[in-house]
Amino acid sequence: MKFFKFFIPLILLSIVTVFIISCDKGTDTVGFDYYMDANDRRVVHFNAKGKSDFGEFEYTWSFGDGSTGQGKDITHEFSDFGKFTVILTATIEDSKIETTVSKEIEVVIPKITDLDFEVSPDKKNPRLYNFKAVSNTDYGNVEYEWDFGDGMTASGETVQYGFEYFGTYEIGLKAKISEYEKIESIRKKYIEIAAPAITRLEFYAEQDDDDPFLYHFKPIAEASWGTLEYEWSFGDGKIAYDIEEPTNTYGKYASYNVQLKAKIKETGATRTVNQEVTVQPPVFKNYEITYTVDPNDPLQIYFTIENKDGENNEDMSQQDSFIWEFGDGDTSSGLRVNHRYESYGEKTVYVTLRTAQQTQKTLTKTFTLETPHINNIKITGTPSMKAGNIIEYRVSADSEFSDEIEYSWEFEDGTQKAGRAVQREMSFWPMANDSGNITENIYIKASIPRLNVSVKETKEVQVVRPTIKNLKINCSNEASKNKLEWICDPRGLGENVTSSHGGDIEYEWVFNGQTYTGANQRFTFGTYGTTNTITLVAKIEDTNITKTEVFQEVSNLSGVGFSCNTNIGDKQEDLKLECTANYDGTHSNVIIKWDFGENSDKYFRNESEHTYEKAGTYPVTMKFDSNQVMEPMEITKDYTVLVNVSSYFDRGDKTGTADCGGWQTKGKYTVYRNNFDLFNKDDFIITNTFSTANTSCKCNGAGWNFTDNVWHGWDEKSADCWGNIDQLVNTTICAKADPTKCVKNY
């Protein structure tokens, strides 16, 4: 909207909200947005928006509370809550053109509603009370102030206050919003701080079964607070102090005014009650108690008094009254009564017969309430077909009230459940037995709450442990000659891998020390002529149930290989290995190099034969390159080269003297000679056996004591005496890599 300031009367500002007057055909749009601050409702954030064909706007604000401001984005704090008309004036710089827009906004006052408080007396002090404030507010934090009506105050949501005197007090509670102290609410109530009082006082007197003059007294008393003490006056001059349930023996049949006085020990408050007790001689009637048990509730019993002399029920009701005691503290009256017990077992019921002249307690009946049976509890457990980590359990039991049985479960790991059918998560499955089951001990409680019956048992339950079916690694090679690229999946048996009892299968592959997840994988073997191992572990999701399969493949190249041969001689120069490469006619521009494995680093050369320094087992590698392969390949094989073994005894050149039977003899030393220096001892196992024969004279050192499997040094001295001593040796040397490759000296 546009207008020239000197053409518009100022009176229009007070009667319009938005006014549009245009003296040209330019386009102006002006407006503003606003939002309340999250922390203070009196703070409002404004944002002006404007667009004009004549230049940029300058913005002036009037907030309706006498305050003004300038700027496109501005924040204003109102001094109070209420409704305000905010006017935004947008003026184009250095011109008379301005646009004005206004909006009415409301700064809402926070409210405190439903203010009230709860009062509860303390159990240990009759003057001490607990107060708790309750309220609702739509904004801010509520603070509470208490006035207890006796000049004392306190603050807080919950307080405890002890009154000095008993009486009625007007309790005042003031609530205010801490952020806006002017916003408050007040609630007042009158409460009575009552002095402890005896609220009920009665007693009953019971004639003894065997002695009609002996009476048993028992108070029926209640107090609002404190401990009760009793004082009895039995009407015959006898009294009793500090006895809750006294007895008194009267001297004659008569009526007596018995008084009971009760006192609150802590305050001294008292109350007195009087009752007339008539001591009457016994009256005997041929009455009998009969009963029946409710078939739907074995704790519910129906009692009746029958007169065996033939007196009808109407006469019995008119002449006598019947007071029943059921042995559990409950009483009733009448010719026919019913009572529900809380437990089973042996019970005794008493009936006191009262007439106009006499009182007698003559009838008792002892009977047994049989506990309803819950037996033959059976539990079955089966893995869920929906998830591999769930076991579904069901329980049943025999009972005439089987439909009402409630079950609670507790498992070995502490898990607790309730119901006839429950589910249990099994992220960890124990190992199965030979039948494929796991065994669990389950604590089960079966109860019928209405009948107060329960049975607790521990059951051993066997559950089938889920298994993984149809797992087998299936790997295929797409290239006809290059055996380095393999695609593998877990469906080697032609069927999908499944769990026997539900649950998704997760896969983990291990190859060259790396782990891969997922069903289908592509693996690249590093070199040719090596055995590669791929391990697959399948796992039922969210369980510890796994199955492992292994795939092995040699990365050979089609039509390429080599072979080597060696001749066994007696000397070091006989340790020669000659190798020949072989490949089919599909390869051209072939380049072959060899490494004979006698040093740690590979050294490839053109020669296809090699003489070793010592007999041993060596890795021989052929490096093959042609225009049929993307990169050179290496094939490695282990070969063992041998030399004939030489080990024997010989009379040496040195002579010596020995003591033989008390006389001195001279002879040459016997020594052990061999060619063990031509063997790489780490690659072989040696077996030596030694023997001595035809010994005509026992001389010092005669015979050998060498143990088996020892690499004896050359030229070791055997004996130092003369005589007919023949020393024999048998030596066998076999390769560790291939125990069938051996050399012997015999």
Q: Beta partners for 711?
A: none
pLDDT of res. 382: 92
The span from the CA of 279 to the CA of 481, in Å, is 122
- Determine contact, residues 243/217, Cβ cutoff 8 Å: no
Reported confidence tier of residue 610, pLDDT bands at 50, 70, 90 = very high
The span from the CA of 155 to the CA of 173, in Å, is 9
Reported confidence tier of residue 558, pLDDT bands at 50, 70, 90 = low
Evaluate if residue 445 carries a pLDDT over 70. yes
The span from the CA of 264 to the CA of 276, in Å, is 25
More confident residue, 316 or 418: 418
Rounded average pLDDT over 551-572: 82
Reported confidence tier of residue 393, pLDDT bands at 50, 70, 90 = very high
Rounded average pLDDT over 582-592: 81
Evaluate if residue 472 carries a pLDDT over 60. yes
- Determine contact, residues 393/380, Cβ cutoff 8 Å: yes
Percent of the chain at pLDDT exceeding 90:
45
Residue in this structure with the two tokens 């047994």, named with its chain if needed: 368
- Top-confidence range, 101-115, 281-295, 550-564: 101-115
pLDDT of res. 724: 45
Residue 140 Ramachandran class (φ > 0 left, ψ -120 to 50 alpha, else beta): left
- Determine contact, residues 174/185, Cβ cutoff 8 Å: yes
Rounded average pLDDT over 35-56: 85
The span from the CA of 536 to the CA of 519, in Å, is 10
- Determine contact, residues 98/60, Cβ cutoff 8 Å: no
Enclosing H/E stretch for 460: strand 453-464
pLDDT of res. 702: 45
Rounded average pLDDT over 621-632: 79
Reported confidence tier of residue 479, pLDDT bands at 50, 70, 90 = low
pLDDT of res. 315: 61
Reported confidence tier of residue 112, pLDDT bands at 50, 70, 90 = confident
- Determine contact, residues 380/362, Cβ cutoff 8 Å: no
| DSSP output for 359-372 | EEEEEEEEEEEPPP
Rounded average pLDDT over 18-46: 70
pLDDT of res. 233: 95
More confident residue, 709 or 71: 71
- Determine contact, residues 394/379, Cβ cutoff 8 Å: yes
Candidates 209, 367, 391, 202; CA nearest to 301 is 367
Three-class SS of residue 682? helix
Would the pTM count as exceeding 0.75? Answer: no
Reported confidence tier of residue 481, pLDDT bands at 50, 70, 90 = low
Evaluate if residue 313 carries a pLDDT over 90. no
- Determine contact, residues 660/698, Cβ cutoff 8 Å: yes
pLDDT of res. 247: 95
Reported confidence tier of residue 137, pLDDT bands at 50, 70, 90 = confident
The span from the CA of 549 to the CA of 534, in Å, is 8
Mean pLDDT of the residues in the chain: 83
- Determine contact, residues 719/670, Cβ cutoff 8 Å: yes
pLDDT tens readout for residues 2-28: 333 332 232 223 323 333 333 343 457
Q: Beta partners for 546?
A: 539
pLDDT of res. 745: 86
Percent of the chain at pLDDT exceeding 70:
82
- Determine contact, residues 615/639, Cβ cutoff 8 Å: no
In sign, the C-alpha dihedral spanning 535, 540, 546, 547 is negative
- Determine contact, residues 125/195, Cβ cutoff 8 Å: no
The span from the CA of 193 to the CA of 122, in Å, is 11
| DSSP output for 301-340 | EEEEEEETT---HHHHHHH-EEEEE-SSS-EEESSEEEEE
- Determine contact, residues 25/42, Cβ cutoff 8 Å: no
pLDDT tens readout for residues 255-271: 999 999 999 988 888 99
The span from the CA of 459 to the CA of 419, in Å, is 16
Reported confidence tier of residue 285, pLDDT bands at 50, 70, 90 = low
Give the lowest-confidence range in 474-488, 552-566, 584-598, 629-643. 474-488
The span from the CA of 447 to the CA of 406, in Å, is 5
- Determine contact, residues 489/551, Cβ cutoff 8 Å: no
Enclosing H/E stretch for 486: strand 485-489
The span from the CA of 701 to the CA of 238, in Å, is 125
More confident residue, 724 or 22: 724
Reported confidence tier of residue 250, pLDDT bands at 50, 70, 90 = very high
pLDDT of res. 506: 92
The span from the CA of 443 to the CA of 461, in Å, is 10
pLDDT of res. 5: 35
pLDDT of res. 628: 65
**DSSP code of 502?**
S
Give the lowest-confidence range in 262-266, 357-361, 396-400, 706-710. 357-361
pLDDT of res. 358: 53
pLDDT of res. 201: 93
pLDDT tens readout for residues 665-696: 666 666 778 888 899 999 999 988 876 654 44
pLDDT of res. 17: 35
- Determine contact, residues 269/263, Cβ cutoff 8 Å: yes
In sign, the C-alpha dihedral spanning 495, 499, 501, 502 is negative
Phi/psi at 175 (nearest 5 deg)? -120, 135
More confident residue, 411 or 307: 411
Three-class SS of residue 678? helix
Give the lowest-confidence range in 183-197, 222-236, 386-400, 720-734. 720-734
Give the lowest-confidence range in 122-136, 346-360, 390-404. 346-360
- Determine contact, residues 508/537, Cβ cutoff 8 Å: yes
pLDDT of res. 627: 74
pLDDT of res. 10: 28
